[in-house]
A and B are shown apart, each in its own frame.
Chain A
Amino acid sequence: MILPQRILRRLRAILRGAALDRDMDAEMAFHLDMETDDAIRSGVAPDDARRRARHAFGGVQRFREEGRDARGVGGARDLSGDVRYGLRILRRSPVFTTVAVGTLALGIGANSAIFSVVNAILLQPLPFPDTRSLVSVWDGGHSIAEFTYIRDRSRTLQSVATYFPNFGVSLSMPEEPVRLTSAQVSAGFFDVLRVPPMRGRFFVAGEDGPVAAPVVVVSHALWRDRFGSDPEVVGRLIEIDGVSRQVIGVAPPALTFPSTETRLWLPLLIDPTGASCTSTSPPRCRQSAVGYSWGAYGHQVIGRLKEGVTREQARSDVYRIGEDLQRDNPVWRPTLPDYLDGLKVSDLRDRLVNDSQRLLYVLLGAVGLVLAMACANVANLLVMRGAARTPEMAIRAAIGAGSKRLSRQLFVEHLLLAALGGAAGLLLATVLVPALVTLLPASTPRLDEVRLDGWVVAFTVLVTAATALLSGIAPARRLAGVSGLQAIGSSRSGVAAPHRRLAAVLVSAQIAIGVMLAIGAGLLGRSLARIMDVDPGFAAEQVVTAQVNPPRARYAVAERQRELVRQVVERLAATPGVTAAAVTTQLPFDQTNHGMAMWIDGWTTDPNKLDLFELRKVSPDYFRAMGIAIRQGRAFTDADRADGAPVAIISETAAKRFWSSRPVVGGQLRFPWPGWMSVVGVAADVRNNDLKEAELPAVYVPFDQSPEVPFALTVRAGGDPAVTISLIRSVVLDVARDTPLSRERTMSALVDDSTIGARAAAMLLLGFGALALLLGSIGTYGLVAYGVEARQREFAVRMAVGARAASVIRLVLRDGAKLAAAGVVIGVGGALALSGFMRGLLFEIAPTDPLTFMAAPLLLAFTAMLACLIPAWRATRVDPNATLRRE
């Protein structure tokens, strides 16, 4: 018969199964009747004839099965039967089912959740066409000067653009001004990304030049939220930082590059004549109202490789340009010794997610271990239950079920378990994913793209299938291979030896995984503790901060900036409850850097090799407001005004490094342009953005002597921070109605924010470790408890001949100890092998930290022994009389 027909027939047989069964029954009835009639005709009594016919016919039920098999519906019928039978079995043992499904759900759900993050951030391509040719040029931020070299001299890039991410601007709105995050981009930015505008147009060549009309591109989110999705928005004028700009286009919703907070794209100002600005020019060389400066760093460079060009070829191209830069040195930076090493060409996605990669992969690995543990646990449960079901299997085998059929039946049960676990896990993941997104640092790139999508569902299905295989096959095969005789023989002694061996291996594996996870959690926890122990150098308690963002164009005049600061600080300081109020142009832990090359009298000999300082322009009370100790000399006073002598305060690190053998107070230093400042004091070191970060020398100068906007307020005040924040808001609103505030936070919160990543990692791994501990204990308990059950008779005999309880307990504990020992040895070995992956995540803790490597296995071993105690105690309660009589 040709195949389609056969399939059709089979399908019909399955679909019409019930009708065909009725058909078959009718045929059988007919056959029996004929047989009976025949017997009666030959002289047999009717009743006898019927009985004989039936006897000749054989088992009706068995016949039905065979008849169905012949009709070709056996497999499918069996399967649906298996599923129904499986569900019935699972329903009949709700505790087992709940524990197994719950265990799998935890394992699978955690994996799906972590995977949805890993997938969105690390695996999915960036939402741009042809992402393979999209590269990040150079590492870290660079200056416009360096960018123009790349743009004009590259032979391997078909297009290249630069952008300055996360540039805060004020947008004037009818009600009140708002602070927005913008990106300053060169004209070719959108061409490199190859994204078309949703409305209007993007920048064209020359729009980043000095004579271009002021324009702006708005994000989809801003268009929707602030302009009510106005279809007429293109062409409208909006005021940004005091400059009226024409909206030329709206970006599509998916375009959130360079960051999800980006609401506006402003053209950079790239002045070809800016090349005249050199390393000794003041920073205001070619500076525009949007803060442009030829030598300012922090610009990222992206590009498209030419057809057929490899990243390696592009890298040597860029390297060549780097050598040009070192020779010409338009800004001081190319003279840094490791300058050329930073000239990299990397895949843009890799570059963006670089920092998150290690953490995410470690989490994925850890959660994978949790799943392996869950599998082992469920496998163990199945083995245990399998032991209990041996008699059932033996009976089913004895009445004619084939071993293949039995193992399939068991496997269907496991598939059902896994499917239930997977479905519950997916449900769990819908809760876990949003939780995970809030747990991860907000600065994690592409966090907005994390969602539970088709990929995650596919992954979950795959993991569920793998789980069914891993946890189900071994127990199913073992159980189905049981022969009737074997089973009947062993039914009295409880758990057959092969079951126990397999279960022991599984429990040891669990303990091993538990040890590995506990070690990972211990390392991260200890690392976190070390981080928290770091003294940031200021007293964060009771300090409230806020970013003040005057529209730059309206506050371009220095005297206006001074006046704003003076008024705000004075009014705040005069408020009862406020201990001190001050401003700084760079707040510690606000996740920005304001590096400045400084010339040091008596130290610097080469004007092109200056040392980099963290620069903070502060009002006099800054040190008091922040609680930063002055180690030598004095803090700034109201006398350090614009018309006073130029002064500076340096950090201890700077003092040690540059004035080690000379008196520091009275020392001289200056910016790369002329104008010496006298050091009047030394302040305690302050961590800049991160407790883990190495100290950079810092220099403080009076705000009045080189004012700048925007700046941050720091207010030390007792009482509720919320009250202080609203006080700041009302004062600023009163003094400068056009100036929006942003990032109103307590200083403690800012410091806490910097450890979110470390805390998330430690917490997640701790959670996984705790889960592992729980699963491991359950596994150990279960195995030892069954062991005790099986050896009841032995214990009874021992007790009968006078063994004491203590020796029985010792006997049981020895079993547990063997399991634990094997698990611990394997676990420690595994953890050592994997320790390299942890290196980048740890702070001042070695990945092979001896304390952790001692404590974690001990904890696991101790817990395992604890789990053995209950069955051990039960072993001593065996009543020798009763037990032996039963035998």
Chain B
Amino acid sequence: MSTVEARDKMAAPELQQGTLDLLILTTLHAGALHGWAISRRIQQQSGDVLRVGQGSLYPALYRLEERGMIRAAWGISSEGRKAKFYQLSAAGRRALAKETDAWRSYSGAVNLVLQGAGL
């Protein structure tokens, strides 16, 4: 086995990719935000549990943009600085609704199993 593969395993991301995408889309539901604000929002709303590394956030943003889920545009931040804002596209909105349902039924199912095990 090559060393690369070994390293990849150790450096497994804290959040699975699909989950991160869902969180980003959710965060943008209320309106356009720049990257730093997105990571802040996720951190705050998860009660400081979920920290999104920049190394995961931006690739995820670009990926979502590439897939047409979100749109990006340069604007002025509340601090008066030039920043890149992301907002949901129509496709993103549809995906968000679908993914939210899927996540609810998935996490509900996992919870049921956990309760059933008496944990």
Contacts and interface: CB of A to CB of B under 8 A. Distances in A.
Contacts of A23: 84
Interface string B6-20: 010000000000000
B83 A70 contact: no
A70 B63 CA distance: 5
B1 interface: yes
Given A67-B59, A70-B62, A483-B3, A31 B35 contact: yes
Contacts of B53: 56, 58
Contacts of B117: none
Contacts of A5: 68
A62 B84 contact: no
A393 to B, nearest CB: 10
Interface in A1-53: 1, 5-6, 9, 23-24, 26-28, 30-31, 33-35, 37
Contacts of A484: 2-3
Interface stretch (A144-152, A337-345, A394-402): A394-402
Contacts of A837: none
B55 A63 contact: yes
A27 B53 CA distance: 15
Interface in B1-58: 1-4, 7, 34-36, 53-55, 58
Contact of B54 (A1, A63, A71): A63
B58 A67 contact: yes
A69 interface: yes
A673 interface: no
A57 interface: yes
A72 interface: yes
A30 B34 contact: yes
B36 A31 contact: yes
A403 interface: yes
Contacts of B2: 397, 403, 481, 483-484
Sorting the interface of chain A by its residue count into under 10, 10 to 19, 20 to 34 or 35 or more gives 35 or more
Given A71-B62, A403-B4, A66 B55 contact: yes
Nearest to A23: B84
A44 B17 CA distance: 32
A803 interface: no
Contact of B1 (A1, A6, A56, A483): A483
B4 A35 contact: no
A870 interface: no
A322 to B, nearest CB: 75
A1 B35 CA distance: 23
Contacts of B84: 23, 26-27, 30
Interface string B50-86: 0001110011111101111000000001010111100
Given A1-B67, A9-B66, A397-B3, A70 B36 contact: no
Given A69-B59, A485-B3, A27 B66 contact: no
B68 A34 contact: no
Contact of A62 (B34, B55, B81, B83): B55
B4 A401 contact: yes
B91 interface: yes
A71 B66 contact: yes
A692 B34 CA distance: 90
Interface in B74-110: 77, 79, 81-84, 91
A72 B36 CA distance: 22
Contact of B81 (A1, A33, A400): A33
A574 B81 CA distance: 113
B24 to A, nearest CB: 13
Given A57-B54, A397-B2, A483-B3, A67 B62 contact: yes
Nearest to A398: B3
Given A403-B2, A485-B3, A31 B54 contact: yes
B12 to A, nearest CB: 15
B55 A35 contact: no
A26 B62 CA distance: 14
A70 B54 contact: no
Given A67-B62, A403-B2, A403-B4, A34 B54 contact: no
B10 to A, nearest CB: 12
Nearest to A27: B84
Contacts of B79: 34, 37
A286 to B, nearest CB: 88
A169 to B, nearest CB: 78
Given A1-B68, A27-B35, A31-B35, A397 B4 contact: yes
A70 B56 CA distance: 10
Contacts of B35: 27, 30-31
Tell which of B3, B35, B63, B68 has the most Cβ of chain A within 10 Å.
B3
A101 B34 CA distance: 52
Interface in A47-85: 56-59, 62-63, 66-67, 69-72
Contacts of A400: 4, 7
Contacts of A403: 2, 4
Contacts of A27: 35, 58, 83-84
A306 B34 CA distance: 80
Interface string A205-230: 00000000000000000000000000
A392 to B, nearest CB: 15
A56 B60 CA distance: 17
Nearest to A5: B68
A1 B3 contact: no
Tell which of B4, B34, B83 has the most Cβ of chain A within 10 Å.
B4
Contacts of A26: 82, 84
A67 B59 CA distance: 5
A24 B65 CA distance: 13
Contact of A58 (B54, B60, B81): B54
Interface in A376-411: 397-398, 400-403
B58 A63 contact: yes
Contacts of A30: 34-36, 77, 81-84
Interface in A481-496: 481, 483-485
Nearest to A58: B55
A57 B67 CA distance: 25
A124 B54 CA distance: 63
A70 B4 contact: no
Contacts of B7: 400
A28 B36 CA distance: 9
Contacts of A485: 3
Interface string A87-101: 000000000000000
Nearest to A483: B2
Contacts of A31: 35-36, 54, 58
A56 B54 contact: yes
Nearest to B53: A58
A398 to B, nearest CB: 6
Nearest to B36: A34
Nearest to A394: B3
A70 B54 CA distance: 14
Contact of B59 (A1, A33, A66, A483): A66
A55 to B, nearest CB: 11
A24 B61 CA distance: 11
Nearest to B54: A57
A425 to B, nearest CB: 36
Nearest to A20: B62
B79 to A, nearest CB: 8
Tell which of A5, A6, A31, A67 has the most Cβ of chain B within 10 Å.
A31
Given A27-B84, A30-B36, A30-B81, A57 B55 contact: yes
Contacts of A35: 36
Nearest to A30: B83
Closest 7 CB pairs of A and B: A70-B62, A70-B59, A34-B36, A1-B68, A70-B63, A484-B3, A66-B59
Given A30-B83, A35-B36, A70-B59, 13 more contacts: A9-B66, A26-B82, A27-B83, A30-B34, A56-B54, A57-B54, A63-B59, A66-B55, A67-B62, A69-B59, A403-B2, A403-B4, A483-B3
9 contacts: A27-B35, A34-B36, A37-B79, A62-B55, A67-B58, A70-B62, A71-B65, A397-B4, A401-B4
